Copies of this chain bind each other. A is one copy, B any other.
Amino acid sequence: MGRRVIADDVVKGILAGYDPEKVVIAAYCSHSSLQIFHGAKREGFRTLGIHERRKDVRYYDAFPAAKPDEFFPMDSITDILDRQDELIEKNVILIPHGSLVEYLKVPNFEKLRLPTFGNKAVLAWESDRSAQREWLVGGGLLMPMEVKDPRDIDRPVLCKQGGAKGGRGFFIAKSHSDWVKAISEGDLKAEDYTTIQEYILGTRYYLHFFYTPLRDDGFRVGEGRLELMSMDRRDETNIDEMYKLGSQTELKDMDIYPSFVVTGNIPLVIRESLLPKVFQMGEGVVNKSIELFGGMVGSFCLETVITDKLDFFTFEISARIVAGTNPYPTGSPYAAYMEDNISTGQRIAREIKEAIRMGALESILS
Contacts and interface: CB of A to CB of B under 8 A. Distances in A.
The secondary-structure label for the interface of chain A is mixed
Interface string A36-66: 0010000000000000000111110111111
Interface stretch (A4-12, A69-77, A127-135, A233-241): A233-241
A177 interface: no
A267 B267 contact: yes
Given A63-B334, A202-B237, A264 B258 contact: no
A201 B61 contact: no
A326 B269 contact: yes
A272 B33 CA distance: 8
Contacts of A267: 266-268, 327
Contacts of A168: 308
Nearest to A168: B308
Interface stretch (A81-89, A145-153, A179-187, A275-283): A275-283
Contacts of A64: 218, 337-339
Contact of A238 (B227, B275, B307, B333): B307
Contact of A99 (B57, B273, B276, B307): B273
A314 to B, nearest CB: 15
Nearest to A275: B59
A268 B265 contact: yes
Contacts of A219: 58-59, 61-62
B63 A272 contact: no
Contact of A276 (B56, B265, B275): B56
Contact of A308 (B65, B259, B278): B259
Nearest to A247: B247
A197 interface: no
A121 B326 CA distance: 37
Contacts of A156: 245, 254
Contact of A261 (B245, B247, B266, B308): B308
- Size class of the A contact interface (CB-based, 8 Å): 35 or more
Contacts of A250: 247, 249
Interface in A213-260: 218-220, 225-228, 235-250, 254, 256, 258-259
A329 B337 contact: yes
A199 to B, nearest CB: 6
A16 interface: no
A352 interface: no
Contact of A243 (B243, B278, B327): B243
Given A62-B279, A205-B263, A328-B333, 13 more contacts: A59-B219, A59-B276, A62-B225, A63-B338, A64-B338, A168-B308, A201-B242, A203-B237, A247-B248, A263-B310, A264-B268, A265-B268, A272-B323
